[in-house]
Amino acid sequence: MDNDNNPPKRAPENTYRNSADRPGGNKYVAQLKKPVVFIPLILLLLMLGLYLYKESQLSDVREQAAQERAAVIERANQQITENNRYLLETLMKPFSWALRTALLAGNTEQVDQYLFQFVQEERFALLVVADADGTIISSTDQNFTGAAFSDHFNPEYLTIDSTVVDDSNQERVVVVSPVMGLNSKVGTLLAVYRPAPPLQQEQAEVQVEE
């Protein structure tokens, strides 16, 4: 039988323009291409990017603020140390003058009274007076009385000729002042002062909140 009258079959044309229009195609892609969905999605992504950028900036600001607070606290502690040094020097000088009168008169009982009155002040832990020979003649701790000054304290303190504040140990500051007579040194005054602990960042924040 002749098949010339039967034209060859052609492949069916693609009825659907894209895969999204096909039955069972990707409906989500089609939805995203709609302006109603696409524009809000872009805005959402922009807002998310802006939020992350601002959050990064805030993190940098917080870190910088923490560093600035630490620097402020360090400067405050340095200022407190300097103030303590100045006040201790200022306080010990007139006190040594008061002791001079009692020492020149040989009145150790009066020296004892001065020391025990003074040690009542907050943060003073110990006061000691040594005579010109380096023997402790009065102390708020009786265990030191009668002992050689150099057996318990730095012997170089006995040679100073002006008030000295030794704050190498921040928890136990030593103040030494010579007790001068009319023409010579008649004794040495030593005081141990315990300053307040250094200011910490947490304490500073609490004080600011209060």
CATH number at residue 144: 3.30.450.20
pLDDT in tens, 125-182: 999 999 999 999 999 999 999 999 999 999 999 999 999 999 888 889 999 999 998 8
Residue that has been written with the tokens 């020149």 in this structure: 104
pLDDT of residue 204 exceeding 50, the answer is no
Say if 3 falls within a structural domain: no
Three-class DSSP labels, 67-108: HHHHHHHHHHHHHHHHHHHHHHHHHHHHHHHHHHHHHHCCCH
If you average pLDDT over each of 11-25, 48-62, 64-78, which comes out highest?
Answer: 64-78
pLDDT of residue 149: 97
Res. 16 pLDDT band, cuts 50 70 90: very low
Print the domain residue range for 71.
Answer: 18-210
pLDDT of residue 203 exceeding 50, the answer is no
Q: Amino acid letter at 156?
A: E
Say if 12 falls within a structural domain: no
pLDDT of residue 20 exceeding 50, the answer is no
Backbone CA torsion sign across 177, 179, 185, 191? negative
Say if 13 falls within a structural domain: no
Say if 2 falls within a structural domain: no
CA distance 173 to 83: 13
Residue from 106, 107, 101, 146 nearest 128 by CA = 146
Question: Tokens representing 20?
Answer: 């999204």
pTM of the full structure = 0.64
Say if 179 falls within a structural domain: yes
Backbone CA torsion sign across 133, 138, 143, 146? positive
pLDDT in tens, 113-126: 999 988 888 889 99
Say if 163 falls within a structural domain: yes
Say if 140 falls within a structural domain: yes
Task: Report the number of distinct structural domains present in the chain.
Answer: 1
Residue from 199, 177, 172 nearest 70 by CA = 199
| Range with lowest mean pLDDT among 17-31, 50-64, 92-106 | 17-31
Say if 10 falls within a structural domain: no
The residues that bridge with 130 in the sheet, in sequence order, are 136, 188
pLDDT of residue 10: 54
